[in-house]
Amino acid sequence: MFKINGGHVFNFFLYLFMIGVIVVTLYPFWTQIMISLTPKDAPPVFNALKIPQRISFDGYLLIFQYKSVWVGYANTILRTALGVTLSLIFTALVAYPLSKAELPFNRTFTFIILFTMMFGGGLIPSYMLVKELHLMNSIWALVLPGMVEAFNVLIMRNFFRSLPESLEESARIDGAGYGTIFRAVVLPLSKPVLATVALWIGVQVHWNGWFDAMIYINDPNKQVLQIVLRKIIYDNNVQTLKQMMTTMGIGGKFSGPQLQATMIMFSVIPLLLAYPFVQKYFVRGIMMGAIKG
């Protein structure tokens, strides 16, 4: 008779569950890859596990020649780089003083920050504020409104509190002030939370952001990549690409779904390349930023 160990059963179902999560996550991603590589005259891909009989990279070659894509890419990269940099700087500058119990009115400031998480002014006041500040059609309209998020401040504050106080005390004995301690001691030890917050801000707020760009940006030369993607997928702007293909003499090689899938993959590739570099800090940053209130 085989003796069943409860721990082995739990691990079996845990691995089975994780395999299911991986399959559900990769299924739509793999499907888009297959559709983007399927030529127009080939049978459509209905099964994600089925590889097309013929593979074509013509869709990617066309996107490389589509000017609006590169304009959107440049604007999105600029927005993401500028937004993440400023957000990390100002979020850290807000979170570090709040991590000190000796800060006067610490609880009051914390309550004010928490209050902004529960109540907001809404779209119309935000639009009027951006307009009155003359930020319309400017990269600053996409960067400044969401530069400091209350949730990120609290996560970073809790991480700073989890650092050993003896390190700061040693630096203070050597004559270092709060500014020097923050720059030379705290920030070098805060790579996990900085990488975690940078990933959140970069992906959720800036790289995938499109609604604020649709409201505040009217100049096509200043639009971000997600707006270009939205026009192709939702606004049926595939006809624009087909007209461009006809001008280039390749009008019969592509289908609408193939172009849409190609554009989706084209916008996801930078995130796939960047994620492995911050993944090792991700779990540690979340755990250490959340365990201490």
Q: What are the Cα distances from residue 150, in Å, to 113, 120, 197, 212? A: 6, 12, 12, 19
Same domain, 141 and 277: yes
Tell me which of 56, 71, 103 is where a domain ends: 56
Tokens of 25: 């996550």
Same domain, 160 and 250: yes
For the chain, give the mean pLDDT: 81
Determine phi and psi for 292, rounding to 5 degrees.
Answer: -120, 120
pLDDT at 209: 87
Q: What mean pLDDT comes out for the span 66-94? A: 91
Same domain, 261 and 178: yes
Identify the CA nearest to 290 among candidates 165, 161, 195.
Answer: 161
pTM of the model: 0.79
What sign does the CA torsion over 72, 25, 200, 131 have?
Answer: positive
* Chain centroid to CA 266: 15
Same domain, 13 and 109: no
pLDDT at 16: 92
Confidence of residue 20 (pLDDT cuts 50, 70, 90): very high
How far apart are the C-alpha atoms of 193 and 284, rounded to whole Å? 8
Same domain, 84 and 150: yes
Contact partners, residue 201, CB within 8 Å, separation at least 6: 83, 84, 87, 88, 149, 152
Tell me which of 37, 56, 75 is where a domain ends: 56
For 8-137, strand residue ranges (E) read: none
How far apart are the C-alpha atoms of 37 and 267, rounded to whole Å? 16
Same domain, 192 and 96: yes
Write down the residue that tokens 């979340």 correspond to: 286
pLDDT at 242: 61
Same domain, 97 and 232: yes
How far apart are the C-alpha atoms of 126 and 249, rounded to whole Å? 46
59, 259 Cβ separation under 8 angstroms: yes
CATH of the domain at 96: 1.10.3720.10
* Total domain count, the chain: 2
Tell me which of 56, 84, 99 is where a domain ends: 56
Same domain, 47 and 67: no
How far apart are the C-alpha atoms of 44 and 35, rounded to whole Å? 8
Same domain, 43 and 65: no
87, 209 Cβ separation under 8 angstroms: no
Same domain, 11 and 146: no
Entry field: residues in the chain: 293
- 155 vs 253: which has the higher pLDDT: 155
Contact partners, residue 43, CB within 8 Å, separation at least 6: 52, 53
CA angle 86/91/291 to nearest 5° reads: 140
Same domain, 6 and 120: no
How far apart are the C-alpha atoms of 37 and 58, rounded to whole Å? 8
Lowest mean pLDDT among 143-152, 157-166, 207-216, 243-252: 243-252
Containing domain of residue 33, as a range?
1-56
Same domain, 246 and 120: yes
pLDDT at 293: 46
**Residue 232 buriedness (CB in 10 A; 0-12 / 13-18 / 19+):** buried
Identify the CA nearest to 207 among candidates 61, 38, 99, 84.
Answer: 84
Contact partners, residue 192, CB within 8 Å, separation at least 6: 159, 281, 282, 284, 285, 288
